[in-house]
């Protein structure tokens, strides 16, 4: 059971909003003298469940600032039937269940605030089928992106979206949290690349979505038969079911890749260019696009070359990773740079040379900030917003930088086929500043909503704001009640309270 530590009491004193997740009484088990832990442990082969605090320590939290939970039991099923047996027993025994992949998300969705058990899906790590005829790959949720990309490369194939958390992230976690990253300029987000799912429901039964719902048909079409049930489980953070199989669309590996950077004098000009870029559909050969604000531009360029004139530097930089047929890439790059020039954008080969090209070839993603992590942790809040909101988003990030100088702030923007995705990062000393940064980030989510941004990777970090979306929350609550009547799946996520 979770008990407040000194740090937790400090958070309360600092005014941090606590999640309304309550520890519900757990039934003792079926047989006299048998605990619910023993009853669930008996459903799996020996060695796949553990409860000692030293063994469960790593399962208390993800990489977010959300307070850790305290699991009473951790299980690691090796197949879908094992997941079904555990879920059926957990529902009957009223035991909360939090499913977990690599734990690399930034929203607290896997933190077991209601206690109960954590289901480690890392044991379901098989690639089941690479079907180049139908153009799909079918895999289990514990497969990492690094393993999947390596397996697809000999076939000359890749997938549409690879999240910014890099090679160690699991595909199941990315689908559950609705990831984006590499591929977003072409394909938008992870959910748009899912052909279908197999999901274990709270009562231990299974459902397949899309064309695979028809016996023997397999995965080849998502929008088939009737309503799109696949979408129910994408971004649901484990609240409606546990994903046990995923079918993703395949795409040819780009034959040619190159990077380039474009600098703009101000944020409104950059936003106008990005909006026009999206409307003209010039992103077919852009695999990744990242935006950097004035502080990031200055830091990287002046850090590499202190003799540069800081007043001559652009205030916004767009890094573009092109991929495709070489002739098509050359054609689109010429068109994109001509469009950028119309909005005052100019090529910036120096930024590409010292930073962006290496970032993309080494695929370091967010971990380009590793220098900060050597002495602190990172509080990250992520949001999606319309492209014309970019100036307001970056101005707001600068206000937080000035208002809270005790933290080292950064912001980043990911280009999508439509709209943008933004992240604000505050680097802090966890031993000294955790309660303080939690309160600040809670305020950031409220201010982002006021700008017109919407929650992304909601988990528990955005729970208070998601609850304010009354009609949306009412509909999700009804779906939750139908699929998980005992309320055991990931209580607290998406603002859904334990029942």
Residue extents of the structural domains in the chain: 1-253+464-499, 256-363
Q: What is the pLDDT of residue 207?
A: 97
Is pLDDT of 185 > 60? yes
11-58 pLDDT, tens digit per residue, is 333 333 444 444 555 554 555 668 999 999 999 999 999 999 999 999
Percent of the chain with pLDDT over 90: 75
Closest C-alpha to 161, from 142, 147, 175: 175
- Yes or no: say if 102 and 168 are a contact pair by the CB < 8 Å rule: yes
Is the alpha carbon torsion for 150, 151, 154, 157 positive or negative? negative
104-123 pLDDT, tens digit per residue, is 888 888 999 999 999 999 99
The residue that leads in pLDDT, 498 or 335, is 335
Q: What is the pLDDT of residue 13?
A: 37
**Alpha carbon of 292 to those of 327, 346, 386, 391: distances in Å?**
28, 15, 17, 12
The residue that leads in pLDDT, 361 or 424, is 424
Average pLDDT, the chain: 89
Q: What is the pLDDT of residue 370?
A: 43
**Alpha carbon of 316 to those of 96, 283, 345: distances in Å?**
46, 19, 9
Q: Which residue has the tokens 């994109």?
A: 336
Q: What is the DSSP letter of 94?
A: T
Q: How far apart, in whole angstroms, are the C-alpha atoms of residue 11 and residue 17?
A: 8
CATH 3.30.160.250 applies to domain 1-253+464-499: no
Q: How far apart, in whole angstroms, are the C-alpha atoms of residue 112 and residue 296?
A: 35
Q: Which residue has the tokens 């089941």?
A: 128
Is pLDDT of 310 > 50? yes
The strand pairing partners of 19, in sequence order, are none
Between vectors from CA 429 to CA 427 and to CA 431, what angle results, nearest 5°? 150
241-298 pLDDT, tens digit per residue, is 999 999 999 999 999 999 999 999 999 999 999 999 999 999 999 999 999 999 999 9
Residue 227 dihedral angles phi and psi, to the nearest 5° = -60, 155
The helix/strand/coil state of 35 is coil
Q: How far apart, in whole angstroms, are the C-alpha atoms of residue 489 and residue 480?
A: 9
The helix/strand/coil state of 55 is helix
Is pLDDT of 232 > 80? yes
166-177: average pLDDT: 89
Is pLDDT of 175 > 70? yes
CATH hierarchy code of domain 256-363: 3.30.70.3450
The residue that leads in pLDDT, 204 or 371, is 204
pTM of the model: 0.90
390-397: average pLDDT: 96
Estimate the share of the chain in helix, then strand, then coil, as percent rounded to the nearest 5.
Answer: 40, 20, 40
Q: How far apart, in whole angstroms, are the C-alpha atoms of residue 107 and residue 379?
A: 10
């Amino acid at each position: 059971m979770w008990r407040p530590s000194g740090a937790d009491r400090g958070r309360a004193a600092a005014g941090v909003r606590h999640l309304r997740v309550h520890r519900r009484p757990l039934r003792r088990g079926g047989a006299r003298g048998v605990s619910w832990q023993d009853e669930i442990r008996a459903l799996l082969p020996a060695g796949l469940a553990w409860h000692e605090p030293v063994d469960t320590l790593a399962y208390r939290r993800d990489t977010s600032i959300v307070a850790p939970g305290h699991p009473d039991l951790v299980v690691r099923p090796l197949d879908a039937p094992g997941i079904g047996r555990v879920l059926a027993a957990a529902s009957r025994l009223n035991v909360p269940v939090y499913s977990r992949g690599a734990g690399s998300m930034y929203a607290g969705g896997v933190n077991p605030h209601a206690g109960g058990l954590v289901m480690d899906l890392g044991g379901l790590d098989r690639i089941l089928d690479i079907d180049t005829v139908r153009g799909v790959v079918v895999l289990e949720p514990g497969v990492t992106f690094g393993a999947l990309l390596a397996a697809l490369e000999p076939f000359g194939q890749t997938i549409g979206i690879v999240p910014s958390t890099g090679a160690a992230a699991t595909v199941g976690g990315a689908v559950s949290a609705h990831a984006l990253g590499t591929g977003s300029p072409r394909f938008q987000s992870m959910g748009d690349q899912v052909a279908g799912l197999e999901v274990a429901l709270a009562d231990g039964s299974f459902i397949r979505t899309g064309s695979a719902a028809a016996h023997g048909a397999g995965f080849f079409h998502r929008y088939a038969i009737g309503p799109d049930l696949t979408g129910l489980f994408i971004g649901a953070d484990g609240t409606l079911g546990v994903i046990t199989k995923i079918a993703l669309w395949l795409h040819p590996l780009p034959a040619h890749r190159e990077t380039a950077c474009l600098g703009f004098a101000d944020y409104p000009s950059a936003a106008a260019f990005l909006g026009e870029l999206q409307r003209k559909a010039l992103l077919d050969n852009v695999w990744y696009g990242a935006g950097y604000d004035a502080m990031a531009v200055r830091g990287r360029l002046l850090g590499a070359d202190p003799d540069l004139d800081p007043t001559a530097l652009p205030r916004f930089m767009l890094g573009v990773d092109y991929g495709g047929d070489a002739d098509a890439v050359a054609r689109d790059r010429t068109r994109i740079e001509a469009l950028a020039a119309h909005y005052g954008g100019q090529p910036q080969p120096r930024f590409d040379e010292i930073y962006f090209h290496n970032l993309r070839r080494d695929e370091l993603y967010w971990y380009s900030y590793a220098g900060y992590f050597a002495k602190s942790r990172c509080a990250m809040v992520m949001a999606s917003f319309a492209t014309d909101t970019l100036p307001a988003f970056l101005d707001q990030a600068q206000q937080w930088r000035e208002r809270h100088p005790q933290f080292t702030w950064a912001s980043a923007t990911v280009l999508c086929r439509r709209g943008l995705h933004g992240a604000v990062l505050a680097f802090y000393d966890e031993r000294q500043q955790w309660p303080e940064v939690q309160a600040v980030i809670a305020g950031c989510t409220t201010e982002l909503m006021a700008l017109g941004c919407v929650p992304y990777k909601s988990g528990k970090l955005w729970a208070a704001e998601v609850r304010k979306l009354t009609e949306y929350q009412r509909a999700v609550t009804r779906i939750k009640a139908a699929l998980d009547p005992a309320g055991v799946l990931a209580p607290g996520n998406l603002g859904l309270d334990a029942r």
